[in-house]
């Protein structure tokens, strides 16, 4: 019988054989494009005449094209014919059941446009060993530079080198609870306890210690006197302690309000607002998780790039393949970047400066020198006590005043006879600490 075959060579290397798409028949060599197709391979049938028309994607000069076909001896092969500048026709006569027949076309480079992937692979295949080495050295060096920056930043941990300097006054008017976040790196129950005492110092809260428990109260409003404004987290904290319109809250009331929910959104909001106050002061990055995520993706990208580069070099790179060591180095740099990422500080350089300043104030609070009795000593003790609680040094701060005459603060009421500062400390510290701890347990699990 008579058979025809219509073949279209497409840009990108695909081949259409009677409308069906195939790949792998086009080879993009360094100096030419080749098409090779086994048309017939002993398929058990006889063909008296087979005509194969190959259509090219663009015009070519016939003098620069090599078109040939191969077969077993029983097949007659007339010379291929250029029907046009885009079509080559092959004819084979007398194909038997056991015959083989193959066609081959060698075209000038660029007659068929390779795909982007093929061009990339081709560029790698023809790239010199020197360029392979340069790439394998530059990428690890760039990654190592990024790693060095990450390492330097990671050394700025929460606990900086101790400063021995002291300052007798706070660096600024930052609320005690926010200062605690700066030095501890997180919001803790101490932040809530410090807020409670700070509210009491400012005339917003009265604390009563009775034999049967404790009570919080709101001071009576004095006509013509406006109370000091509350911050966002202080307002939410007061709303958590007192029911709307109420001026008194007992221990049972607070426990009941806390116990209504496993997790309290209000307490979580307090934690969030305290941390946001530190962020607004420029002490911390606004979104630490996003920062960590970016560095994780970067390190994973470096690791993936190293593995991919190693495999490509192994398959396509020229000998000798000593440049594979560069990709190996890049892989280990990526691993180190991934390990260092969790150690990156959330605190900013501005936060470091504030950390040092408040550490100096903390050194003043814990000084072993007794605080001399004066008209202002009692006022100074009460004023700085919330800071001492936030920084975890309330005991050391109180010890500095044990030899001084002590008067119970006007915001504290107790059934016990309190004549010394130790009595006051033993009464107020456990009370405020217990309330703060109970409130902190009620925060949502992912609060800061």
Q: Same structural domain for residues 92 and 193? A: no
Q: Same structural domain for residues 106 and 192? A: no
| Boundary residue ending a domain (115, 131, 147) | 115
Q: Using one digit for the tens of pLDDT, what is the confidence trace for 125-160? A: 777 788 888 888 888 888 889 888 888 777 665 556
Domain count, the chain: 2
> Alpha helix (H) ranges present in 85-218?
116-126, 129-154, 176-184, 189-201
Which residue range(s) make up the domain with 93? 2-115
Res 342 pLDDT > 80: no
Q: Using one digit for the tens of pLDDT, what is the confidence trace for 238-271? A: 888 887 777 788 777 777 766 555 456 777 888 8
Is residue 309 a part of any domain in this protein?
no
Cα–Cα distance list, 268 to 177, 273, 286, 317 (Å): 15, 9, 17, 57
Tokens of 354: 């504030």
Q: Same structural domain for residues 106 and 229? A: no
Beta-carbon contacts of residue 209 (< 8 Å; ≥ 6 apart): 412, 413, 414, 415, 416, 427, 428, 431
Q: Same structural domain for residues 81 and 214? A: no
Is residue 195 a part of any domain in this protein?
yes
Is residue 336 a part of any domain in this protein?
no
Q: Same structural domain for residues 273 and 403? A: yes
Residue pair 341/295 in contact (Cβ under 8 Å)? The answer is yes
Res 264: pLDDT: 65
Is residue 154 a part of any domain in this protein?
no
Task: Tell me the pTM.
Answer: 0.60
Q: Same structural domain for residues 235 and 95? A: no
Q: Same structural domain for residues 92 and 198? A: no
Is residue 374 a part of any domain in this protein?
yes
Quick one: which of 206, 260, 208, 271 has its CA closest to 236? 271
Q: Same structural domain for residues 234 and 359? A: yes
Q: Same structural domain for residues 264 and 354? A: yes
Q: What is the largest CA-CA distance in the chain?
A: 124
432 vs 344, higher pLDDT:
432
Tokens of 15: 């081949």
| Boundary residue ending a domain (115, 131, 154) | 115
Percent of the chain with pLDDT over 70: 93
State the Cα–Cα distance between residues 233 and 183, nearest whole angstrom: 19
Q: Same structural domain for residues 106 and 218? A: no
Is residue 331 a part of any domain in this protein?
no
CATH of the domain at 53: 2.60.40
Q: Using one digit for the tens of pLDDT, what is the confidence trace for 105-116? A: 999 998 989 888
| Boundary residue ending a domain (65, 83, 115) | 115
For the beta sheet containing 248-250, the strands, ordered from the edge strand earlier in sequence to the opposite edge, are: 248-250, 213-217, 206-210, 412-414
pLDDT band at 445 (very low <50, low <70, confident <90, very high): very low
Is residue 304 a part of any domain in this protein?
no
Q: Same structural domain for residues 236 and 359? A: yes
Is residue 295 a part of any domain in this protein?
no
């Amino acid at each position: 019988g008579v058979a025809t075959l219509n073949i279209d060579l497409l840009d990108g290397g695909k081949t259409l054989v009677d409308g069906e798409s195939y790949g792998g028949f086009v080879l993009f060599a360094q100096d030419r494009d080749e098409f090779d197709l086994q048309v017939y391979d002993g398929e058990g049938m006889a063909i008296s005449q087979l005509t194969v028309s190959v259509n090219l994607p663009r015009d070519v000069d016939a003098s620069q094209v090599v078109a040939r076909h191969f077969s077993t001896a029983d097949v007659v092969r007339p010379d291929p014919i250029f029907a046009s500048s885009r079509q080559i026709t092959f004819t084979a006569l007398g194909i038997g059941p056991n015959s083989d027949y193959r066609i081959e076309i060698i075209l000038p480079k660029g007659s068929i446009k390779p795909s982007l992937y093929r061009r990339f692979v081709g560029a790698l295949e023809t790239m010199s060993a020197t360029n392979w080495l340069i790439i394998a050295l530059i990428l690890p060096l760039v990654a190592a530079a990024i790693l060095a920056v990450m390492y330097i930043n990671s050394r700025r941990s929460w606990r900086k080198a101790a400063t021995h300097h002291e300052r007798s006054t706070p660096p600024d008017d930052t609320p005690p609870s926010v200062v605690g976040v700066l030095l501890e790196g997180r919001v803790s129950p101490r932040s809530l306890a410090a807020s409670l005492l700070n509210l009491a110092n400012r005339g917003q809260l009265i604390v009563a210690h009775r034999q049967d428990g404790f009570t919080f109260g709101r001071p009576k409003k004095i006509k013509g006197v406006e109370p000091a404004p509350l911050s966002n987290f202080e307002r939410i904290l007061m709303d958590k302690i007192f029911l709307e319109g109420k001026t008194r809250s007992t221990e049972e009331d607070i426990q009941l309000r806390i116990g209504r929910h496993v997790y309290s959104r209000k307490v979580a909001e307090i934690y969030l607002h305290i941390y946001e106050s530190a962020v607004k002061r420029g002490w911390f990055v606004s979104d630490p998780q996003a920062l960590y995520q970016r560095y994780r993706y970067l390190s994973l990208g470096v690791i993936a790039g190293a593995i991919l580069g190693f495999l490509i070099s192994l398959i396509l790179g020229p000998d000798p393949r000593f440049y594979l060591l560069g990709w190996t180095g890049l892989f280990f740099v990526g691993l180190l970047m991934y390990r260092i990422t969790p150690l990156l500080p959330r605190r900013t350089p501005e936060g470091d400066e504030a950390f040092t300043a408040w550490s100096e104030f903390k050194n003043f609070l814990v000084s072993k020198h007794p605080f001399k009795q004066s008209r202002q000593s009692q006022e100074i003790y009460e004023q700085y006590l919330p800071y001492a609680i936030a920084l975890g040094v309330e005991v050391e701060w109180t010890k500095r005043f044990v030899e001084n005459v002590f008067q119970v603060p006007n915001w504290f009421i107790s059934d016990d006879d309190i004549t010394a500062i130790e009595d006051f400390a033993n009464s107020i510290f456990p009370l405020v600490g217990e309330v703060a701890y109970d409130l902190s347990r009620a925060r949502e699990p992912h609060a800061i």
